[in-house]
Structure 1
């Protein structure tokens, strides 16, 4: 006689089907090109699609098809959930092509989780069979663990036997290390202000700091490094990202947050922090306007942000009125002086557009 089964947990599930039409063209549109809000276990979630995300490791330059789930319910916390994605047959909702990719985490308000589904090159190459009529079909599922078990007695026994695993607080611990300055072994003089840090942490996160602090450069033997061409607030925000992988200043709205993103983009490029650089690019672009686009275009050109550069040019050339208004700004004068080659590119695009 088989043993009785006991259901120790209950979960709520929400399944969403994403049909991405015009798959080839999504490569030309950076950022999240599609999103959907859904509900699961009484919480609101947003699922986003990214057509060419970078890999998880610094040495992986591949572009991936990525989906992201974000908990958007206000003041939500302690929500245990998993997120899975599966590439399906575009001609039928009944056939799967690839194994399911799944990951899980503890969520609080605005916490997100990513799934790298498949390399874009695979879909465009040998696995082109997964694309039909320039369309891909992806099933995304959110599974949320409910708070109360179905069998209270069994749950009590289980909780006594196995302690729950707390969510990761590594970023908080490193943030406290930066704040306390315990064990700090290097000081930066940034615009005259002293900022203490830990060589090993900086080197582990930045190839530039690795070269400066453990290579043959003069900073290797120096307990103090001067930085004169950066504001102290920007450098402190950069350090906070290095220690915690977060930049709370960029989560704010308004002109100051956009300005900080511009400065941080320069700093991220300088120290080889590619993830921070991409975050700044997205933030800078969300604050783009007639008054700021020329300055942003110069920034993109100077720091090798090809996607941002392309978006700025499209904004400028969207209408004749845009072009005339931008040409009258102070930022355009700065663009003329600092990046004349960009103006040549703009002129060529104007001529091509005029001949169509």
Structure 2
């Protein structure tokens, strides 16, 4: 980030102060690629790759390209690995990324390659991630399987903005950076000492951050570990993408970008409400409720109302009842059999609706 300030002196001797900031906006993400049946992938010829399914970070689609016998004959003793910009962007994308190998014993990931920040047009990576002989004798390969983690940070845009001038100082202080630094710590897993197993995926995190953010995790993690050891925690009844969003909130105090599809938001937000209740995070629950209120319409109100009743989300429930108190809205909901859904899943909510309509 860069800042600039200017001052002008008028004819009357007064001093005018102004300041601006140039801010690089970034977004980070993580993708894990598990190689099952490693020995069988060695049948792939040198120079040929196996691509991961696409994943999105920073508004772009990416793939990890795995060359089990190297990028070329010069690297045939190595595993080559590249991050590919799916589809390509003519002007390229500024991004930095790290390839790490995960331990089967839940230890912090070991970085093997880091791109410190390049404009990626097609792909960028390393021809010599690790010698196959080294991998085969390491703790990373267990049961003919190993896992690669790719951490990606994309510079999405560079903004300029006016900032307040601090009286008596030459320039205004820069915007807060704590959330960005903590997001980077989560993305790299550096100094992580907790390994969460969720829905077949491993998430590395930092006990001190988790204990500060959640009273439930404070009770669960206090007294554990110590001496540099990693605490292993298995999380049941939660999808990996929901736990990933929960962790990101703990580190950045922000919800994930939901994009333009309401269906995507409606699918994740209720799960985050349940996670907030599970871990005693009241602010997260209220933020998710606010987002869900924005999604209330004739198509979604029945499901959201039933959810609000089940999870005791009183503000969200009131918002749904207010929506249904409009006769036109109510008629649209009846057409979709929404009230029938509510009467079966949460009949007490229907009683509240009738009481509200009767009082008006």
Q: Aligned match of 1:211 in 219, 225, 228?
A: 219
- Could you tell me whether the CA contact under 8 Å between 1:202 and 1:210 is conserved in 2? yes
Q: Quote how far apart the aligned CAs of 1:226 are.
A: 2.0
| Higher normalized helix content (fraction of residues) | 1
Mapped partners of 2:337, 2:187: distance in 1? 39
Alignment of 1:87-102 (within 5 A): none
Alpha-carbon distance between aligned partners in 2 of 1:224 and 1:276, rounded to the nearest angstrom: 24
The unaligned stretches of length 5 or more in structure 1 are: 13-73, 83-103, 105-144, 146-157
Indicate the residue corresponding to 1:80 in structure 2. 163
SS at match of 1:230: coil
Q: Specify every segment of 5 or more residues in structure 2 that has no aligned partner in the other structure, as ranges.
A: 1-11, 21-156
Q: 1:281-292 residue pairs with structure 2 within 5 A?
A: 281-292=289-300
Q: Equivalent residue for 1:345?
A: 352
Shift of 1:312: 0.1
Q: Say if 1:203 and 1:332 are closer, same or farther in 2 by CA, change over 3 A.
A: farther
Corresponding residue of 1:259? 267
Change over 3 Å in CA distance of 1:7–1:302 after alignment to 2: same
User: Is 207-216 or 226-235 further displaced after alignment?
Assistant: 207-216
2:205 is the alignment partner of 1:197: yes
Give how far 1:6 is off. Answer: 6.2
More off after superposition, 252-261 vs 232-241: 252-261
C-alpha deviations, 1:180-230, integer Å up to 9, x for none?
0111111112112111111110111112211222279xxxx9922222322
Query: Quick check: which one's strand share is greater?
Result: 2
Offset of residue 291 of structure 1: 1.7
Give the deviation of 1:324 after TM superposition.
4.5
Contact kept? 1:185, 1:197, Cα under 8 Å: yes
User: SS in structure 1 opposite 2:203?
Assistant: strand
Find the residue that maps to 1:275 and give its secondary structure. helix
Residue 234 of structure 2 aligns to a residue whose secondary structure is strand
Where do residues 205-354 of structure 1 align in structure 2 (5 Å cutoff)? 205-214=213-222, 223-250=231-258, 252=260, 254-319=262-327, 321-327=328-334, 329=336, 332-353=339-360
Match of residue 34 from structure 1: none
Equivalents in 1 of 2:171, 2:349: separation in Å?
Answer: 60
Alignment of 1:123-202 (within 5 A): 165-202=173-210
Report the Cα distance in structure 2 between the residues aligned to 1:242 and 1:212, rounded to whole angstroms: 16
Verify the 8 A CA contact 2:242 2:272 in the aligned structure 1: yes
Deviation at 1:178, TM superposition (A): 0.2
Cα 1:81–1:189, aligned 2, differ >3 Å: closer, same or farther? Answer: same
TM-score (normalizing by structure 2): 0.50
Q: Deviations over 1:218-267 (max 9, x none)?
A: xxx99222223221111111111110112232465532133322322222
SS of equivalent to 2:190: coil
State which structure, 1 or 2, has the greater radius of gyration over its C-alpha atoms. 2
CA contact (8 A) 1:268 1:274 kept: yes
Larger mean Cα displacement after TM superposition, 238-247 or 207-216: 207-216
Aligned length: 209
Change (3 A) 1:282 1:251: farther
Between the aligned partners of 1:170 and 1:246, the Cα distance in structure 2 is: 12
CA distance in structure 2 between the aligned counterparts of 1:334 and 1:187, rounded to whole angstroms: 40
Deviations 1:74-101 (A, max 9, x none): 974242138xxxxxxxxxxxxxxxxxxx
3-state SS, counterpart of residue 177 of structure 1: helix
Structure 1's 163 and 237: CA in aligned 2 closer, same or farther, altered over 3 A?
A: same
TM-score scaled to structure 1, two decimals? Answer: 0.51
Computed over aligned residues only, the root mean square deviation of the Cα atoms, in angstroms, reads 3.4
User: Using a 3 Å threshold, how does the CA distance of structure 1 residues 189 and 309 change in structure 2: closer, same or farther?
Assistant: same
